[in-house]
Structure 1
């Protein structure tokens, strides 16, 4: 599984759709999709990771090579 697919997996563990995640993070649904597909990084990406951590999702696997 690619790193980016794992972001989708983490979101799905929380039972949150892309649309819901976009509303929570106050970014577009397109941005959520692009984050999950590894196309963009930046503030939205950081918000995404912070939200996962805040909700007790262990993201350490994301950073392993």
Structure 2
């Protein structure tokens, strides 16, 4: 099983811009919009943190992955 390591956003922003955008959206964004569903049996959750920011979390064998989709 993979081990998670702590992330220091003050140092890692350049390497992980989507995580930085997600964290800022959660902290300062408009009210969240949630949606869930599945594509070909693969579940996903969509999190909207503002009018122009949307992140999609997709279930994988190791957990969830996410990417900025809007």
Q: TM-score, normalised by structure 1?
A: 0.30
Per chain length, whose mean CA-contact separation is higher, i.e. which structure has more relative contact order (CA < 8 Å, sep 6+)?
1
Of structures 1 and 2, the larger Rg is shown by: 2
Larger strand percent:
2
